[in-house]
Amino acid sequence: EAGVAQSPRYKIIEKRQSVAFWCNPISGHATLYWYQQILGQGPKLLIQFQNNGVVDDSQLPKDRFSAERLKGVDSTLKIQPAKLEDSAVYLCASSSQLAGGRQETQYFGPGTRLLVL
């Protein structure tokens, strides 16, 4: 079974530029998550999708971050414009159970490491 795929693996941009990350979850997984992991910290949830609908985006800085999952499969996360403090690893995860359902295990992709100069 293929795991969660993410691209690119690394990205370097200058502040005020825009950047987009892509995620393809495990086949059949209805729930998709984007996390931000700042160096030295644990991952923090940015947004959660159930199929193509948003379940939770309370921690997403909506003035600069956006995400979509139009067909309920793969997803993109965009930052526009980027700030220095956005430098982090952006992790995508997916799970097969419904959001908040029992025995929900999240499987993570390799992440995209973003450096904003």
Partner 1 sequence: AQSVTQPDIHITVSEGASLELRCNYSYGATPYLFWYVQSPGQGLQLLLKYFSGDTLVQGIKGFEAEFKRSQSSFNLRKPSVHWSDAAEYFCAALGDYKLSFGAGTTVTVRA
Q: Select from 10, 18, 7 the least CA-distant residue to 74.
A: 7
| Contact status: 22 vs partner 1 (CB under 8 A) | no
**Both structure tokens of 26:** 């495990």
Residue 28 gets which letter from DSSP?
T
| Contact status: 42 vs partner 1 (CB under 8 A) | yes
CA dihedral sign, ordered 107, 99, 19, 89: negative
Residue labelled with tokens 């992709």: 109
- Which residues contact residue 47 at a Cβ distance below 8 angstroms, ignoring those fewer than 6 apart? 33, 34, 54, 56, 57, 59, 60, 67, 77
| Contact status: 55 vs partner 1 (CB under 8 A) | yes
| Contact status: 71 vs partner 1 (CB under 8 A) | no
Residue span binding partner 1 (CB under 8 A) among the ranges 13-21, 22-30, 71-79, 102-110:
102-110
Minimum CB–partner distance for residue 14 and partner 1 (Å):
23
Residue labelled with tokens 């067909």: 71
| Contact status: 57 vs partner 1 (CB under 8 A) | no
| Contact status: 104 vs partner 1 (CB under 8 A) | yes
Among 23, 43, 60, 82, binds partner 1 (CB under 8 A): 43
Residue span binding partner 1 (CB under 8 A) among the ranges 20-28, 34-42, 68-76, 78-86:
34-42
Where along the sequence are the contacts to partner 1 (CB under 8 A)?
A: 4, 6, 33, 40-45, 55-56, 91, 93, 99-100, 102-111, 113
